[in-house]
Amino acid sequence: MIRKLYSSILSQRQNEARAELHRNMIRREAQIGGQLFGQIPAGVRREFFCLDTHTWVWHEEWKDNTGSLQSRTTRYDVRPDRIIKSQNGRYHAVNLNEATNLVRAIQEYVGRVKSELYGVIA
């Protein structure tokens, strides 16, 4: 009985530790992704990351001239026949130029994350 309880607690702690590690890795990947488009100005938070197998997110936060926190989140849903962009509750398919830029950003992201975070030389 005690062994079973101990095993259950240990398993739960291991799952929590794995989940925390996963969240930390996503945060670090997002930071690396945010640096793809040049230096980040002081007071700005910028992130670009892969949410799941077909969803990419660009998020940016900054303070405006009045000191109010502003943010913009753009989500790209990559589908077999098109890429859908959602921003401020509006959805539309991206044009070829934006799709090409997104693909380039994804390729750069993958290369930098593999190299800087996971130590894989591509």
pLDDT in tens, 33-48: 999 988 888 889 999 9
Q: What is the distance between the alpha carbons of residues 29 and 116, in angstroms, rounded to a whole number?
A: 9
Q: What is the distance between the alpha carbons of residues 44 and 21, in angstroms, rounded to a whole number?
A: 25
Show Cβ contacts of residue 66 under 8 Å, excluding neighbours closer than 6 positions.
Answer: none
Domain boundaries in the chain?
2-116
pLDDT in tens, 98-117: 999 999 999 999 999 999 88
Looking at residue 122, its pLDDT comes to 56
pLDDT in tens, 61-87: 999 999 999 999 999 999 999 999 999
- Please give the model's pTM, rounded to 2 decimal places: 0.79
Mean predicted confidence (pLDDT) in 24-36: 92
Mean predicted confidence (pLDDT) in 53-58: 94
